[in-house]
Amino acid sequence: MKSKYIQCALDHQFDELVNSVKPYIKKKIPDILGYPRSSVSHRLQQQFIALEYDFFKGEALRYLKEGLGKSILDQNIIELHRFKCDTRNLSMSINFYYFIKCMYRFFVQWHVVLLICIKSLCIFPEKDKKRPKFTLVYGISDIYFSQDLADVEFVEFCKNSAINPLFEAKYLMVKSQAKGLVSSVPKHICYTRNPLYKLLEKKKLSIVEFIKFFLLHCKTFFVYLKAVFNYPTLSILFNDFSTHSLATTIVSKKLIDNILLTNSNMSEQFLWMNSIIDRNFKTHMVWYSENALIYGPGACCEVFYKYIKVDEHWFWTQNFSDILHEMQVPGVFHSIGPILFYPVIKKTKSNNYISISVFDVTPISDEWSKKMGIGISYTEGQYIRFERVDYYTPEIMSKFITDVMSIAKDIESYSGNKVKIFFKPKRVYHEKHDTNYLALIEKLSGKSNELSMILVPPEENMYKMISASDFSVVMPFSSPALVSGALNVPAVYYDPVSNIDVMSGYKKMDNIIFASGKEELYVKIIDIVNAIN
């Protein structure tokens, strides 16, 4: 099937826009509070991408459709949601409304930080002869901590982790949105909404430390105002500068051992995390998944990846390492196998039936696709058309699951054995997900269905599920196939529409094959079933 997807083309346009304004940004930004202009410029671009990437794609797509194939970059002025880019003098400016919003947020957060530090003066510190260092953890979903087992499996994962800063950490401070969450090992793991605030709660400030903090906090206030006056776009870094003095104080107390981020924080490496003066810790990116590709033309990674700035990366496969190297992502790379924040727990396979683990990529609705810049309504003559340019659409995902169900019935007839499908959705269902697709899943898993499809909660330990299966069928190129391969359970990446761009993203791996179209899926599953028997 020839590809209709143009996500890579839209991504390349945005990358070109960002690259075009880089010299202007670097020229406008000075060294600030000890942060070199190169670091501030890099962080500003990272934040700009996070704020405008989806909106730009939507506008670029609309211009492409309504402008008869022209590029949005052909315009003299590109009006984005919060910014304006002038392609004639290669400049970028923030709109007034968002500037005021950023300034308001800075003022509020600046005062919150001040109050937190004043409060710290009144707290009795924990009695430790030695001042412990904490490893701060950001970007792990609360589903790993708030289920029936609490954080028992997460604790077990940390104890045996190949991620050295987790394995070696004596004290973890984990960011969590859950209220009142207490670890099963409270002496070693603490859950909090703001790790920096919690550090002060545990290790109060002395009077001298508070005075130093207060003077720096006031200095930061006026330096930020001056910098923003000279270049208003800098206001978008309100989070970075409102917490600068607090981070500096904590760094001076040597309370941080390491910082762990995940790919949920791909666009949130604040300045203090990697560029603060006298930094005495390392920042790590822990990749809990490796489904990084978008399509059309070919396969590529989103522009976010190029702006990641950490010291070390911990990921699954050498293939992913090659992708990051190709994008010139800095840092030391560690390939350690699957990273799922729970331990490897294996179950015994049943001999009474053929067990198939199935993993989707839950599709978003058409309405949400517009918000994310991958769907568009446009006028063509007298008609209003709608088109999506992403791969994981409700139609393709529906075909994926119905094809697998259909072939499972054929496998029952071929083998004479009962087949059970264990289906694990990628996401906890959200309002952004397509309701028709969710209804289809509910129907297929109903008791009235002649083939058994058992729903497995998204937070379920994937190792247990896959190890009890004969093989897995996975949507390209979702990470469960890599888990299956690591457990020596055959896995099939199945592309239900035989897309040439998707096929181009496949790299040969042990225990993982690729099937393009329903007929090829049937043939390859038959081969697996024959090998099992």
Assigned token pair, 283: 């920042």
> What's the rounded Cα separation, in Å, for the pair 184 and 533?
44
With cut-offs at 50, 70 and 90, classify the pLDDT of residue 121.
confident
pLDDT value of residue 412: 92
Closest CA to 313 of 323, 302, 303, 300: 323
- For 326, phi and psi rounded to 5 degrees? -60, -35
- Crossing angle of helices 435-444 and 394-415, in 10° steps, is 10
With cut-offs at 50, 70 and 90, classify the pLDDT of residue 132.
confident
Spatial contact of 341 and 154, defined as CB atoms under 8 Å apart: yes
Mean pLDDT of the chain: 91
pLDDT value of residue 386: 87
DSSP string, 431-478: TTB-HHHHHHHHHHTSTTSSSEEEE--TTS-HHHHHHTSSEEEE-TT-
DSSP string, 265-291: GTT---HHHHS-TT--SEEEEE-S---
| CATH 3.40.50.2000 fits domain 353-532 | yes
pTM of the model: 0.92
pLDDT digits (tens, 9 = 90+) for 365-401: 999 999 999 998 877 777 788 889 999 999 999 999 9
> How big is the CA angle at 244 (ends 241 and 248), to the nearest 5 degrees?
165
Q: What percent of the chain has pLDDT over 70?
A: 96
- In the chain, where are the structural domains located? 1-342, 353-532
pLDDT digits (tens, 9 = 90+) for 45-103: 999 999 999 999 999 998 887 766 678 999 999 999 999 999 999 999 999 999 999 99
pLDDT exceeds 70 at position 419: yes
b/e map 483-512, b = 16+ CB within 10 Å: bbbbbebbbbbbbbbebbbbbebbeebebb
pLDDT value of residue 501: 86
